[in-house]
């Protein structure tokens, strides 16, 4: 397993994708993060607060926010993941698809940097959590889903048109079936003190209680502006919530990462619990707030490493993504063609003809770029392993057949173009 190529108490400033891509594989024990939720609005901090001036945009568009190389990477290497993204795009909106694609490329990296015994908690609300779960199943594997935690709070408005929306969702996945988990206890109140001979009963101001193993509904008050930990940052979360996650899913001195760390709730919680931490945020004032909070809330002075430079991988760029790892392959050297260039090249070579059933199309949009030897069998992304197929052939081929296998199957099923028979 590689050594971390970053220091404890580092705060990176910038887009988390590039920092995540620079981090060595399998170096982080726990990721606890609260990304934007696709709320289709902009968030602004309270004026005159510690976080004054902070704002972030939470609106997404495929056209504006999605880079072609993300789409290419996912389409080529993780076709099932692309289907999860597209289902969000078609079921909800273009914006939701774009947000899922933005998250997916980052979650692939988060999966890579987690240790085999590591876990991830993703914080969303009901706007996007179900689409994120499909994306997480495609990346982490549905078998590694552990909990959908309901964070229940009571503050905020209510509507007369539906039930009050008073919870957020935290999706908890582990990287494998062998992961760190420290069961926690919580108070369970009893209606009276008598008749429980086999359990220990305690009393506090609210009444009699016993301690039971913690369940997946967490009743924790949302942060109020007048609490000492409140910085004025618009989406700041309570420390209690993140401390609970860190206690359950990491051990002393473990490395905790928050790639969307905002005003540093995760780093502060990690520091208080004796864990190491790394935070990333695109907001330029995050550093001052982190230093202030660590000083005020943990008594830590002057030890935060602030960095805008990418960490350099020292682990030979190992992919370390067992669930989705495609067979080891070496792409030929030379400039890499984009998917669009490969498409144009094949069209010029063969015309608008499907290479699976030899049907000709008037409109080339009926043809899709696919691999000859499937990626899962070690097929290259290179042009030498690419074909244009019509939709039905592409679906039939899936990652089951090579091109010659697909043609044989088409012949058997009577789908080959009649012109060639």
Ligand X SMILES: C[S@@+](CC[C@H](N)C(=O)[O-])C[C@H]1O[C@@H](n2cnc3c(N)ncnc32)[C@H](O)[C@@H]1O
Question: Which C-beta is closer to ligand X: that of 1 or that of 282?
Answer: 282
Q: Rule CB under 6 A: say whether 353 interacts with ligand X.
A: no
The 10 Å Cβ neighbour count of residue 133 is: 19
Q: Rule CB under 6 A: say whether 140 interacts with ligand X.
A: no
Question: Which C-beta is closer to ligand X: that of 261 or that of 346?
Answer: 261
**Residue from 36, 141, 232, 374 binding ligand X (CB under 6 A):** 36
For residues 241 and 172, the answer to whether their CB atoms sit within 8 Å is no
Q: Rule CB under 6 A: say whether 288 interacts with ligand X.
A: no
**Residue from 91, 282, 344, 400 binding ligand X (CB under 6 A):** 282
Number of residues located near ligand X, criterion CB under 6 A: 18
CA dihedral in degrees (14, 283, 95, 127; nearest 10)?
120
**Residue from 117, 127, 235, 276 binding ligand X (CB under 6 A):** 235
Q: Rule CB under 6 A: say whether 306 interacts with ligand X.
A: no
**Residue from 78, 218, 233, 277 binding ligand X (CB under 6 A):** 233
Q: Rule CB under 6 A: say whether 99 interacts with ligand X.
A: no
Q: Which stretch binds ligand X (CB under 6 A): 137-145, 187-195, 235-243, 304-312?
A: 235-243
Q: Rule CB under 6 A: say whether 56 interacts with ligand X.
A: yes
Q: Rule CB under 6 A: say whether 257 interacts with ligand X.
A: no
Q: Which stretch binds ligand X (CB under 6 A): 125-133, 165-173, 200-208, 233-241?
A: 233-241
| Contact positions vs ligand X (CB under 6 A) | 15-16, 34-36, 56, 233, 235-237, 260, 262-263, 265, 280-283
């Amino acid at each position: 397993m590689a050594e971390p190529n970053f220091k404890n108490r580092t705060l990176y400033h910038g887009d988390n994708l590039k920092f995540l891509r620079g981090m060595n594989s399998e170096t982080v024990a726990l990721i606890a993060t609260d990304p934007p939720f696709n709320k289709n609005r902009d968030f602004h901090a309270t004026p005159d607060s510690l976080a004054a001036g902070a704002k972030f945009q939470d609106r997404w568009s495929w056209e504006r926010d999605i880079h072609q190389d993300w789409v290419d990477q996912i389409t080529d290497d993780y076709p099932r993941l692309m289907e999860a993204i597209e289902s969000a795009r078609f079921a909800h909106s273009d914006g939701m698809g774009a947000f899922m694609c933005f998250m997916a490329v980052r979650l692939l990296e988060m999966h890579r940097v987690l240790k085999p015994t590591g876990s991830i908690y993703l914080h969303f609300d009901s706007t996007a959590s179900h689409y994120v779960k499909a994306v997480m199943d495609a990346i982490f594997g549905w078998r590694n889903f552990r909990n959908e935690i309901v964070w229940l709070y009571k503050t905020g408005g209510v509507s007369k048109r539906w039930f009050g929306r008073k919870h957020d969702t935290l999706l908890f996945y582990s990287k494998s079936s062998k992961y760190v988990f420290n069961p926690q206890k919580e108070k369970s109140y009893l209606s009276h003190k008598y008749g429980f001979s086999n359990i220990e009963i305690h009393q506090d101001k609210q009444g009699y209680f016993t301690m039971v193993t913690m369940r997946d509904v967490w009743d924790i008050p949302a942060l109020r502006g007048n609490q000492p930990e409140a910085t004025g940052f618009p989406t700041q979360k309570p420390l209690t919530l993140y401390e609970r996650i860190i206690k359950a899913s990491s051990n002393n001195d473990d490395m905790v990462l928050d790639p969307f760390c905002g005003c540093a709730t995760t780093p502060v919680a990690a520091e208080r619990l004796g864990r190491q931490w790394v935070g990333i945020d695109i907001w330029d004032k995050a550093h001052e707030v982190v230093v202030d909070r660590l000083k005020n809330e943990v008594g830590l002075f002057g030890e935060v490493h602030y960095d805008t430079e990418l960490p350099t991988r020292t682990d030979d760029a190992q992919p370390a993504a067992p669930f989705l790892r495609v067979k080891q392959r070496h792409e030929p050297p030379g400039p890499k063609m984009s998917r669009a260039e490969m498409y144009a090249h094949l069209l010029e070579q063969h015309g608008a003809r499907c290479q699976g059933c030899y049907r000709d199309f008037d409109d080339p949009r009926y043809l899709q770029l696919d691999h000859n030897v499937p990626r899962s069998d070690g097929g290259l992304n290179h042009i030498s392993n690419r074909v244009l197929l019509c939709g039905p052939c592409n679906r039939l081929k899936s990652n089951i057949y090579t091109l010659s296998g697909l043609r044989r199957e088409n012949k058997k099923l009577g789908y080959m173009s009649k012109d060639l028979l």
